[in-house]
Amino acid sequence: MYKGTSILLLCMSAGSMLYGQETDTIHTQIPAHISESELSDSTAFGLDEIIVTGLNGQRRVSKVPLAISSVDREYLNSSQHSNIIDALDRLPGVSQITTGAGISKPVIRGLGYNRVLVVSDGVRQEGQQWGDEHGVEIDGNSVGKAEIIKGPASLVYGSDAMAGVVRLDDDPPAREGEIKGNLNMQYQSNNGLFNYSADCAGNLRGFFWDARYSDNLAHDYRNRINGYVPNSRFRQNAVTAMAGVMGNWGRTLLRFNYYHLEPGIIDAHADVEGDHHHHHPGPTLEGGRDYKAEVPMQKVDHYKLVSSTNASVGRGTLTANIGFQQNRRREFEHSAYESSLDFLLRSYTADLRYSIRPAGMFSLDCGASGMIQSSDNLGEEFLIPAYRSYDIGVFATADKDLGESVTLAGGVRFDTRSLHGLPLEEDGVARFEEIRRTFTGISASLGATWHCLSGLDLKFNLSRGYRTPNMSELGSNGCHEGTYRYETGDASLDAEQSIQADLGAGFRSRFVDAEAALFINRVDGYIYLRREGSEVIDGIPVYRYHSTDALLAGGEASVTVRPHDLVSLENTFSYVNSRRLHSHGENQWLPMTPAPELNTTLRVGLCRESRIFESPYVSVGMNLAFRQNHVCTIDDTETPTPSYTLFSLSAGTGVRIHGKQRFAVYLNISNIFDRAYVSHLSRLKYVTLESPAGHTPVYNMGRNIGVRIVVPFSNM
């Protein structure tokens, strides 16, 4: 489960991945450069970890110069969430931009959208991340572990990883001769969420496979101010399948994923005669218990096919990944059968990597990656131009242990991206002008870790990242109903360039774990969206993309105290300050900056060992979000958000029958006192609904009671 800012993940095999490389293995094994005695000492209390990350292969957390957080399957099962990004929201330095309960976008240290790259199934997830209400098209039930790399990871992953990376990996394949699986079922009371997922996997004579089906549906959520929030319902279906073969030479596998999402859109229209933060109320809905989405709504279909091969070549491992993704996102405003906006995005990715692990505590990785994208508009309305995109990048990374206490890591990457926005005329008037832009960038990183005292590690990393503007930022020109605004781009925008310095420290002992990480990030040409005064088009407020030089600074801290082997008290704090350089007063702050946040969890194990119950526990949590006064006040783009405190209660246990765990059950109660609150990063903050109290903002979810049951099976 989650411990401090990272957790114990013993993985994988030679050839773990940086960009698009496979991370699962058939057999868990200890990396050659770590002795068994060293492993035993470090894992005695779960204080040090071995991870698979986008940094030069398998390394201890204490030897990685960047801040990293990780969670495993147990953490995901025991937490209450409605999607995979929602499950990661309480990790230090991680936030989410939400649209109700069904859509979440990751934010790392105040940066989101195309600055955070999601990697799943060994490839970058491409699903039109530019949109506010565009979530991550990944079935949370299929995620066995999640890893957050905080800070510019452009060195390994390319342009869109300037803020960091969310790595989502599935469970390790079954062992030789094993057939295993599980049934995972969840219910949540607030929005009537039903979630079930069935999985079956096996490994026979070197042929291994895995197949899963998931269904997730919810009616409107409610809170004590709005009652049921109309049309906040959603439904999700997902199918995943994997098959592969392995031998002494390595292994090769093929993965297929299909993801379908139907979220409702809360029906509101901007009141342009007054304050733009107020909206006409949407239709009221008695009860709100209908599971079928009503118009306006979205339909999202995402297909992904990935081929991955790892093979031993000479003294190293050669990894090749080829991926295809198709994302179709349709928005229905007036009819469930005729779409208004209809985006069809196809992405082709190819990655080649060679990893060398010679003797002498030295590692070297080099490779190349490329991507071709085509996006077409198939609907009756238009927001961004149809476009074609071409990417290619080459990189090399290395790390070196200088004795037992110091590790150096670094590398360099070169990328080029060509964008071609297609022109479009509408009723004889140019809707989109042709856009042809080519961007090139160099990313670099150099870091060091120092094991200076017993239990104490220091880290420092200096990195340069870059990000090219997306087609929405360059060429938007249309009404975006899902965001209640008319968006316009700027074809002259340049790529963002960042320089970030990270300083971290970690202390580990039998009774206390403590970690702290500070960062300062200078971004030249930072691109952001803000309102343009009182300007309106077709009765909708106009928002334009602008660029500025920005400075983001902050950090995270965590302290876990274990006075007893059954008791732990965990505290985490996150803070980020985001402002425009060369600006002063109220106009200096950047939009969509997370509020400072403090999380405290007291966990008590109920017994060490029992014939029936396995690791039973109960925990109490507190989430304190401080008031966010640092808001973008230019033309009233944002307003401050009050502070709020939420309390939660959870419990869980495995249940043994005849000496073997037959099932596990988890109980969660979030927002125990039914607090009415609005998250600063909620997109529904500026929408109002009619309620008994008058026109009020759309508040977040009220009290929610959840039950999850996991039933595993195995022939071993």
Q: Which has the closest alpha carbon to 23: 55, 53, 62? A: 53
- Residue 393 to residue 19: CA distance in whole angstroms: 11
- Tell the residue number behind the tokens 């940066």, with chain if given: 111
Question: CA-based diameter of the chain, in Å?
Answer: 78
125-144: b (≥16 Cβ within 10 Å) or e: bbbbbebbbbbbbbbbbbbe
How many Å apart are CA 204 and CA 246, to the nearest integer?
10
Beta bridge partners of 51: 59
Q: How far apart are CA 350 and CA 36, in angstroms?
A: 37
pTM, to two decimals: 0.88
The C-alpha atoms of residue 588 and residue 48 are separated, in whole angstroms, by 40
Residue 400 CA, distance from chain mean position: 30
Select from 636, 632, 631, 630 the least CA-distant residue to 533.
636
Give CA–CA dist 539/345, Å, rounded: 30
The angle formed by the CA atoms of residues 649, 626 and 522, to the nearest 5 degrees, is 120
DSSP conformation letters of 56-99: SSEEEGGG-SSEEEEEEHHHHHHS--SSHHHHTTTSTTEEEEEE
Q: Which helix (H) or strand (E) holds 401?
A: strand 387-402
41-66 core/surface letters (b: 16 or more CB in 10 A; e: else): ebeeebbbbbbbbbbbbbbbbbbbbb
Length, in residues, of the chain: 716
Q: Which two tokens stand for residue 713?
A: 């099976």
Confidence (pLDDT) at 609:
78
- Report angle CA 96, 140, 686 to the nearest 5 degrees: 30
Tens of pLDDT, residues 658-710: 888 899 999 999 999 999 999 999 988 888 887 666 678 899 999 999 999 99
Tokens of 383: 């927001």
CA separation for the pair 464, 455 (Å, rounded): 30
CB atoms under 10 Å from CB of 537, counted, come to 15
Residue 17 corresponds to which tokens in the numbers above? 């991945």
Indicate the residue type of 575. Y
CA-to-CA dists, residue 569 to 94, 150, 614, angstroms: 20, 24, 21
Q: What is the pLDDT of residue 540?
A: 83
pLDDT at 691: 66
Which residue, among 691, 683, 703, has the nearest Cα to 229 in the 3D structure?
Answer: 691
List the chain residues with pLDDT less than 70: 1-61, 267-287, 358-361, 481-482, 691-694
**CA neighbor of 525 nearest in space, from 602, 441, 457, 453:** 441
CATH 2.40.170.20 correct for 36-324+339-714: yes
Enter the tokens of residue 428: 């004889």
Which three-class secondary structure state does DSSP give residue 711?
A: strand
pLDDT at 157: 79
